[in-house]
Amino acid sequence: MRYINNKIRFIVAFNLLFTMSCENFVELDTPDHILVSPVVFNSGETATAAIKGIYNELADADFSRGYQYSVTVLAGMPSDIFETTSVTDTRYGPFQQNEIAPAETPDASANYNLWSSAYNIIYMANSALEGLENSTNIPVGQLGILEGRALFLRAFTYFYLTNLYGDVPLVLTTDYRQNSLATRNPASEVWDQLTDDLEEAVVLLDGQDFYGENERTNINQYVVQAFLARVYLYREDWNKAEEWSSKLIDQTTIYEIQEDLDLVFLKNSKEAIWQISPEGRGFSSTYTGEGYMFRGNSSSPVKLSDNFVASMQEKDKRLANWVGFNSSRSFHFPYKYKDSNSRNSASEYSMVLRLAEQYLIRAESRAMQGNISGAIADVDVLRSRAGLDLINDIEPEINKEGLLNIISEERKLELFSEWGHRWFDLKRTGKASQVLMPLKPLWQETDVLFPIPQVELDKNQNLHQNVGY
């Protein structure tokens, strides 16, 4: 796999992090060998910098940067949210039509970049965990915090890989001899591992509720709790999903729903649980990948589908604040991020986890457990902000099925163009074929999974392709 052979990238990432702007890291000489652990994890200071280096890589990695090969874009195209602005688009068109090629096409290259950059993050997390395990110089308390953050980053990445590809290699070591022959583990094993990683991380980070310098970019206990809530929602453990989401919602002194929609995606927004700073790229450009990708100009390759825009009520404030319109080409585009060209001063950070999602998680979990009134109260928090009629006013006696449909629609309207939420929602609820078959003439049931990149199959005969490719 690419991540196995990507020694230079890994070393450079760990070396560059010490010279990144805005960070006072100790500069180290570049190690002569991939096994950087004895050097990097020799002290708490350098080990902390190493974990920060993985975080900074998220700002630059195709998988997570919000730009052309990111989860946000590539997992947005197969749903009913995005369309290409050109009918001849050979990179995103196949994703829109769920006809992704495994090899030798622009869409195949995009898919490969997504896959390989995600595994690069996992490789870095594994290297950090191995280095921390073998370190004898880091204070125990600090060691636990660093381990918790590395575990979270690994689990976070595997969540997307298994949602996109199903069974994937579950790589938990940097040993190239094992990794080069890795087989695809059943998705159930991946889910179990990432859940275990998160449960361990939340214990290790217990009491770590700070963000540091008022930047909502550090991985603390609340970040892990928020992601655990999502994971348990996906695993249909409604009780735990409600429990973890409630922990976030109850932190009213830290998090709050921003009534002004234009404030939601600003850096360090009160609604933000975890963000990625574009400054982590180490360049003068400080706009987010999303801000640039969805800039809505004449060269934009992606637009919002007409059906999606039509599904928004005119009075929905999200339509006015989060949807832009290019009058010269007559298309709508996501406009949650307003900055597409800043230099040296970021006004927006890429949003990864935010409070609104926690309300939606709890609403769905409560509805599934029969707590209809509690679910209504949660979904109405977001409907109120959006300027929509409250369910409690117009349908207080709504049944479980009807409420779940409303929650699903609210998830679509609230979380569009964020980390593939709509695509994953359609799949986890079993509605992908129902919703997409009328829109996509080439749709097949097997399209719910992306193909494994052919280049990976060629390098490792123990891997096999998903059905339908």
- Which string of DSSP letters, residue by residue, matches 150-167? HHHHHHHHHHHHHHHHSS
Average model confidence (pLDDT) across the chain: 90
**387 within a domain of the structure (yes/no):** yes
Count the domains in the chain: 2
**291 within a domain of the structure (yes/no):** no
CB of 93 closer than 8 Å to CB of 78: no
Lowest mean pLDDT among 28-42, 318-332, 334-348, 392-406: 28-42
Same domain, 36 and 84: yes
72 C-beta neighbours (distance < 10 Å), count: 25
**401 within a domain of the structure (yes/no):** yes
The reported pLDDT for the residue numbered 19 is 35
Q: Does 448 score more than 50 pLDDT?
A: yes
The reported pLDDT for the residue numbered 3 is 41
465 C-beta neighbours (distance < 10 Å), count: 14
Lowest mean pLDDT among 142-146, 207-211, 425-429: 207-211
CB of 323 closer than 8 Å to CB of 309: yes
**61 within a domain of the structure (yes/no):** yes
**396 within a domain of the structure (yes/no):** yes
Same domain, 199 and 257: no
Same domain, 361 and 246: yes
Same domain, 231 and 190: no
Point out which residues pair with 332 in neighbouring strands: 325
Same domain, 394 and 451: no
Same domain, 420 and 464: no
The reported pLDDT for the residue numbered 313 is 97
Same domain, 136 and 85: yes
How far apart, in whole angstroms, are the C-alpha atoms of residue 121 and residue 118?
5
Same domain, 171 and 184: yes
Same domain, 272 and 401: yes
Query: Can you give the residue range of the structural domain that contains 256?
Result: 210-286+338-428
The reported pLDDT for the residue numbered 27 is 32
Q: What CATH number did the domain enclosing 229 receive?
A: 1.25.40.390
Same domain, 46 and 134: yes
Same domain, 14 and 35: yes
Q: What is the mean pLDDT of residues 70-75?
A: 97
The reported pLDDT for the residue numbered 25 is 26
Tell me the CA distances in angstroms from 379 to 32, 382, 398, 436, one per residue in order: 55, 6, 13, 25
Confidence tier at 38 by pLDDT (50, 70, 90):
low
**24 within a domain of the structure (yes/no):** yes
Contacts of 430 (CB under 8 A, 6+ apart): none
Q: What is the mean pLDDT of residues 140-153?
A: 95
**316 within a domain of the structure (yes/no):** no
**230 within a domain of the structure (yes/no):** yes
Same domain, 93 and 122: yes
